[in-house]
A and B are shown apart, each in its own frame.
Chain A
Amino acid sequence: MHVLIVDDEQAFAAPLAERLSLRGLKAQAVTSAEQALASLADALPDIVFLDVHLAESDGISLLQSIRQHYPALDVIMLTGSTDMQTALRAMRYGAKNWLPKPISVDTLLEECVKAAQRQRQRAHEQHLAELDRLRSLGRIAEGVAHEVNNPLNIIMQAAGFIEDLLESPACRALPQHQAMAQAVSTMSRQSLRVRELTHSLLMVGLGLDPRTQPVDVPSVLHQTLALVAERAAQQQVIITEALAPALPRPLWANAELQQVARNLLENALDAMPQGGRLHIAASLCASPPTSMELEEEALPEHEPVHSYALTFTDTGCGIAPEQLPHIFEPFYTTRAHGQGLGLAVCRSLVQGCGGSIRAYSTLGKGCRMCLRLPLAPEAKPQKSPPSNAR
């Protein structure tokens, strides 16, 4: 989490920033409005603590210009006196809160946590809005494909019929036979092109479909893998898979599986800039955890006994033991860039469908992300599968 403190009292702001840094936050202190604006333009923090009294310009006008340029940024006002009027004005201009000085580090941290929660809420709302958009897109694609398929079906059948007729000896004797055969074969071929198109539209719908349903994991993963194939090739990462297409299907939304898989794949590629191996495997999970998992801890009780297990194992740099417990926390990142939201979103999506996600890693050797997903009710293994149903 990145914090910016704007206060003209260097003796107050600098030690505060230092103490926040000791607590693991990225904190910076500046003493003027110009410095503050320059810092904001350089890198956007997650929260700003702003003194209402700055030496050259007042904090309220800086607040106004921050609100104007960065409306999503949380600003907390620091007031030296118990000046209620100024505090109220600040709140009117969009400050999230005000804190009377002197201020303890714990109070600042509390505000940081609140800001993180608000940010998480915003990300969640954005995600929902995105899903909503995808839902309508998926429906349109599906609807178009179906509406086009029906007349196309009749056209292809009619063209096939003409082709059949042209095979008869009487038709073969016609002088224009060759031209007619060519024309009708063009109709058939072009119809096939349209069928390919409607088919891929339906596939788009599949990838975007946010409804919870039995998910065809291999086919969704193949679509997702296609998105990162180029990057993997550039980095000389070899991707192998054991996806067992015949497994019962887990109950999830295609769009969410795709989003989680994309995130995990990109993370794995991030961990292997010098090449490596990424293995994706699917299995049914009623058996005890594998040895790599046993190194960590026992699975919690609420873990579904009969579930779909999906693992992503890479041979990348791995995750340090002290970092491992935090990687699913929002805003936790070990990278210079990135918001630190990827895995947090993954976890909330996986938990949203009743599943779980865990990470196992040995530093310098690699990392394994394990997803456990609930099975679709009708997908439970049958006692005697019918021999003649295909």
Chain B
Amino acid sequence: MDRRVRVRNDMPPGHIRTPAYLRGKCGVIERTLGPFPNPEQLAYRHKGRPLALHRVRFTMAEIWGDAAETPTDTVEAEIYAHWLEPADAA
């Protein structure tokens, strides 16, 4: 996976640990953790598929655009691998 990634811009129903405010946003992988069982499956008592968990760093400018308080400040969040795609994907 490229270090620069985009969070999938999907809104599926269910127990999702990817915050909505980060969907569709681009960031850089800070470190990779896991594998951890997929919480979207665990929540419904299925066996969780082991997934890499990436800590992704986003700038405030990327998340909030012109409304950013300080554009260069950053947010880091843990995003499961199946929620990430290469940042240059269409």
Tell me if chain B binds chain A: no
